[in-house]
Every structure is written in structure tokens, then in C-alpha cells.
Amino acid sequence: MKELEDKLTGLGLSQEQAQQAIQAVVDFIKAKIPGEYQGMLDQVMAGQMPDLSALGGIVGGLKGLFGDK
């Protein structure tokens, strides 16, 4: 996540603002995905590689995440 934070600070956000923006996005995504995938997101945010074997149904779980476009 350091790379994302660096990109956001490069756009003019303070380090604190960048961290808050990242957390806001993570919270938004976690609210939209099924509970069984939230742990995977936590692992990714911690810099770990989650077990991806359960990803078969994630595409269906993400439908509607960003609206009906």
C-alpha cells in the first residue's frame, strides 16, 4: 500500500490524507463485498498474499459495486 500512498501524496495529499483516503476506499469495498472476501482484502492491505482459491464467485459478489454502468 506504500506505492498507493506515494501516488496519492504525489497528487498533493498529505501522508495522513492519503492514508485516510485509502482507508475510506477499503471500507467502501468491504461494505460492498460478501463477508467471506473481506478477510482477503484485509490480508492484501497488510501486504500478504491471500488464499485465492475462493475467488471463483468473487466476480458475482462484485456486481453492482460501482453502480449499473
User: What does the pLDDT look like over 9-36, one tens digit per residue?
Assistant: 999 999 999 999 999 999 999 999 888 8
C-beta separation of 50 from 33 below 8 A? no
Domain locations in the chain as residue ranges: 2-62
**pLDDT tens digits, residue range 30-66?**
999 888 888 888 888 888 887 776 666 555 555 555 5
Please report the DSSP string for the chain in residue order: -HHHHHHHHHTT--HHHHHHHHHHHHHHHHHHS-HHHHHHHHHHHTT----GGGGGGHHHHHTTTT---
**For residue 69, is pLDDT > 50?**
no
